[in-house]
């Protein structure tokens, strides 16, 4: 065989559905005001950078992760206020936790259900685990369609229901009474994905205590450590015990675990950053509402979804002016001509608003 035939031989080993799709897109942001992926824009002070460097320099990177990861899990449980009778497991970001849940529940014919539009990894993970994903459209105001959700639960009997709270990309919190109805009707697990909890008036711990089939998933990415990749899942001990069986044995590195511990020891710094971002969110939302040609939606996350006349044209014009946001139009029909704008620092937001106004 020649080289081309050998490559085709190798490609034939991959699943058809994998070959037919695309990898998760990550845009280059070099030299740009980067407001496309909901990152915390603030770096640590020079003094804390020095202290963190000293901490990481002392880590035994010749050893596999063990005690350090366990200490981080215990610290995160305390930080989250984990109730008695519950346990915690860690993932390499929430993405890995979603994969772990799917793997642990991947019986033949399993269905994963979520309202849509929402975080794309619920569907992607389900598909690659051989599960069927059922998306239930949100209402026009991006609120849960309670009757449609209940009907879908009755028809499809999902093993996992994901509720992104606040929802990504719409940024809103859903009606608590409707969520309660969904939880009561669920025949399997309900995962409350609270990735944006640092910016929202939300906490599902009481819901989990009332309903032991509810799991809470959070991340340190929005806390301010997107580059460290630490997600955590809290729930009833018996349920987390099963999920933990499919967790790769050393999935959180010693350096990441130490960085996570360091952040929790300086939680006041990150709390102040979250407070500043909440204030900036309200400033940006008010400015967007006053801007002709754009319809922003209220948000409890560190992003704002906004509809414009031509998202592709506006996105390209903003990028040409050095500001990168997310064009969400292709993600779901309900997001037609929508941009998702991450809340940045005061200066970044000022630059974004100027570029947006000039691009509309």
Q: Please identify which residue in the block is written with the tokens 């990749």.
A: 229
Same domain, 76 and 23: no
Nearest to 191 by CA among 202, 179, 173: 179
Q: Does residue 205 form part of some domain?
A: yes
Question: Does 337 have pLDDT greater than 90?
Answer: yes
Distance (Å, whole) CA 236 – CA 83: 9
- Write down the pTM of the prediction: 0.94
Question: β-pairing, 33-34 with 323-324?
Answer: parallel
Q: Does residue 192 form part of some domain?
A: yes
Same domain, 65 and 198: yes
Same domain, 168 and 40: no
Same domain, 354 and 246: no
Q: Are the C-beta atoms of residues 128 and 138 closer than 8 Å to each other?
A: no
Q: What is the pLDDT of residues 54-68, one digit of tens each?
A: 999 999 999 999 888
Distance (Å, whole) CA 249 – CA 284: 43
**Cβ neighbourhood burial of 209 (10 Å; 0-12, 13-18, 19+):** middle
Q: Among residues 249, 265, 281, which one ends one of the domains?
A: 265
Same domain, 219 and 237: yes
Same domain, 314 and 187: no
Q: Among residues 212, 246, 265, which one ends one of the domains?
A: 265
Same domain, 137 and 237: yes
Distance (Å, whole) CA 139 – CA 168: 15
Same domain, 315 and 167: no
Q: Among residues 222, 241, 265, which one ends one of the domains?
A: 265
Same domain, 7 and 65: no
Q: Does residue 350 form part of some domain?
A: yes
CATH number at residue 109: 3.40.640.10
Mean pLDDT, rounded, for 284-307: 97
Same domain, 223 and 294: no
Q: What is the pLDDT of residues 192-239, one digit of tens each?
A: 999 999 999 888 999 999 999 999 999 999 888 999 999 999 999 999
Q: Does residue 325 form part of some domain?
A: yes
Token readout for 203 is 């906490």
Q: Does residue 52 form part of some domain?
A: no
Tell me how crowded residue 314 is: count the other CB atoms within 10 A of its CB: 22
Question: Does 28 have pLDDT greater than 80?
Answer: no
CATH number at residue 350: 3.90.1150.10
Mean pLDDT, rounded, for 153-174: 97
Q: Does residue 237 form part of some domain?
A: yes
3-state secondary structure at position 350? helix
Number of domains in the chain: 2
Question: Does 134 have pLDDT greater than 80?
Answer: yes
Q: Does residue 147 form part of some domain?
A: yes
Q: Does residue 42 form part of some domain?
A: yes
Same domain, 217 and 259: yes
What's the pLDDT score for residue 209?
96
**Could you list the residue range(s) of the whole structural domain that residue 354 is in?**
3-46+268-359
């Amino acid at each position: 065989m020649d080289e081309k035939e050998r490559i085709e031989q190798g490609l034939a080993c991959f699943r058809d559905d994998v070959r037919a799709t695309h990898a998760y897109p990550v845009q280059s942001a070099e030299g740009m005001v980067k407001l496309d992926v909901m990152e915390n824009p603030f770096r640590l002070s020079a003094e804390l950078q020095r202290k963190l460097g000293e901490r990481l320099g002392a880590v035994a990177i010749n050893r596999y992760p063990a005690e350090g990861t366990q200490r981080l899990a215990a610290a995160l449980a305390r930080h989250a206020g984990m109730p008695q009778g519950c346990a915690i497991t860690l993932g390499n970001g929430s993405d890995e936790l979603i994969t772990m849940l799917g793997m642990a529940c991947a019986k033949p014919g399993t269905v994963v259900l979520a309202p849509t539009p929402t975080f794309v990894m619920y569907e992607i993970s389900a598909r690659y685990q051989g599960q069927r994903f059922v998306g239930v459209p949100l209402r026009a105001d991006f609120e849960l369609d309670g009757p449609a959700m209940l009907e879908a639960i009755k028809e499809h009997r999902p093993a996992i229901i994901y509720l992104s709270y606040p929802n990504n990309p719409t940024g809103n919190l859903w009606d608590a009474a409707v969520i309660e109805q969904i939880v009561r009707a669920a025949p399997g697990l309900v995962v409350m994905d609270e990735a944006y909890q640092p910016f929202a008036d939300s906490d599902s711990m009481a819901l989990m205590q009332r309903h032991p089939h509810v799991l809470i998933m959070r991340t340190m990415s929005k806390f301010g450590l997107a580059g460290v990749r630490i997600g955590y899942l809290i729930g009833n001990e018996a349920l987390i015990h099963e999920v933990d069986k499919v967790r790769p044995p050393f999935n959180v590195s010693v350096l990441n675990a130490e960085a996570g511990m360091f952040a929790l020891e300086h939680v006041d710094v990150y709390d102040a950053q979250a407070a500043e971002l909440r204030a900036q969110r309200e400033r940006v939302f008010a400015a967007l509402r006053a801007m002709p040609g754009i319809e922003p939606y209220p948000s409890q996350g560190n992003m704002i979804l906004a509809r414009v006349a031509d998202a592709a044209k506006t996105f390209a014009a903003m990028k040409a002016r050095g500001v990168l946001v997310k064009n969400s139009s292709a993600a779901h029909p309900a997001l037609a001509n929508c941009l998702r704008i991450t809340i940045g620092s005061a200066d970044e937001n000022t630059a974004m608003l100027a570029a947006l106004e000039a691009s509309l």
